[in-house]
């Protein structure tokens, strides 16, 4: 039989099949021998050992279209990156790192700004303008007030990884979309206003047919291993047009004078968000001595 790994815990791989449900399987020894680790999101072949108990053996992995290291998942069609408008306030530097990280694997991104019911100052529209100008699809909403329909449309017929920091409502969103799998929803720490961790392992949830949603543990930092500083600019799509006005080819938009750098001119005129540009400078400085260590090629 064939199916998709939706959860891996304590040596068992839980494989979902649209026709027959979920089977708990162990991997054959050849995986360990060859140093192959099955991942959530892998499409696999398995043999059924006990139909009544829904148990089997994992036989083989199908070729992967992509692979994320953090979280460790395979075969992602898109990422839904969730940040809150308020409580906690959004860390836009972290958001930009998420966007770069997904871009390194050529995974399309939709940004969901949650908790618009707490937005008293119109910040949500400001964030929308910043990231739509950068070329991303942005959805504003509230898991407290919405029915989840506009998100369901985004997720239809895709395997989507749900990413973002703790406390922004990822688990609440999963609950809204998949009521049969109620997840623990944590309260915010009153002391530090940071979300308590509620998702402790990586798990795919089957929504409808071939639609899957993968909730992941939240985290507050994200490194970008293997990305050289001179390539960081490639992951800021709004730089592309203004960069054509730079006087010199290969302009990094860092130390050049404004009169010879089209990107700096666009920042000064407001065509490029200053917060995005400042985050670019910070990430460039962190990555400028990095040697390229990643490949965009599909891992097998």
Q: Give tens-digit pLDDT for 7-53.
A: 999 899 999 998 899 999 999 888 988 989 999 999 999 999 999 99
Q: Residue ranges of the domains in the chain? A: 2-62, 68-215, 229-287
- Cα-Cα-Cα-Cα torsion 28, 30, 32, 35, nearest 10 degrees, comes to -140
Q: Give tens-digit pLDDT for 267-277.
A: 999 999 999 99
Please name the fold of domain 229-287.
Answer: Ribonucleotide Reductase Protein R1; domain 1 (1.10.40)
Tokens of 234: 């490639």
Considering the domain 68-215 in this protein, what is its CATH number? 3.40.50.300
State which CATH number among 1.10.260.40, 1.10.238.10, 2.60.120.370, 2.40.50.140 fits the domain covering 2-62: 2.40.50.140
Q: What is the pTM of this model?
A: 0.84
Tell me: pLDDT of 131 over 80: yes
For residue 184, name the pLDDT band (cuts at 50, 70, 90). very low
Span 274-289, average pLDDT? 96
Pick from 64, 60, 29: which is nearest to 47 by CA?
60
């Amino acid at each position: 039989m064939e199916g998709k790994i939706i959860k891996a815990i304590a040596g068992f791989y839980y494989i979902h099949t649209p026709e027959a449900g979920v089977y708990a399987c162990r991997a054959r020894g050849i995986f360990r021998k060859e140093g192959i680790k099955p991942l959530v999101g892998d499409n696999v072949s398995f043999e059924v050992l006990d139909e009544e108990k829904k148990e089997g053996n994992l036989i083989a992995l199908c070729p992967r279209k992509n692979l994320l290291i953090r979280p460790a998942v395979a075969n992602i069609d898109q990422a839904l990156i969730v940040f809150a408008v308020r409580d906690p306030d959004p860390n836009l530097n972290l958001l930009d790192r998420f966007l770069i990280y997904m871009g390194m694997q050529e995974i399309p991104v939709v940004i969901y700004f949650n908790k618009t019911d707490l937005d008293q100052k119109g910040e949500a529209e400001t964030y929308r303008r910043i990231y739509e100008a950068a070329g991303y699809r942005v959805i504003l909403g509230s898991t407290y007030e919405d029915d989840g329909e506009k998100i369901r449309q985004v997720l239809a017929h895709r395997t989507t990884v749900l990413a973002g920091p703790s406390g922004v409502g990822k688990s609440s969103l999963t609950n809204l979309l998949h009521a049969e799998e109620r997840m623990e929803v944590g309260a915010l720490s009153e002391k530090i206003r940071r979300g308590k961790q509620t998702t402790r392992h990586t798990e795919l949830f089957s929504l409808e047919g071939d639609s899957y949603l993968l909730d992941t543990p939240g985290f507050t930092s994200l490194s970008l291993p293997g990305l050289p500083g001179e390539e960081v600019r490639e992951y800021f799509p709004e730089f592309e047009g203004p960069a054509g006005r730079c006087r010199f080819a290969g302009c990094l938009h860092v130390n050049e004078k404004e009169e010879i750098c089209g990107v700096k001119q666009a920042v000064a005129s407001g065509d490029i968000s200053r917060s995005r540009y400042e985050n670019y400078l910070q990430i460039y400085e962190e990555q400028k001595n990095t040697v390229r260590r990643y490949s965009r090629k599909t891992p097998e």
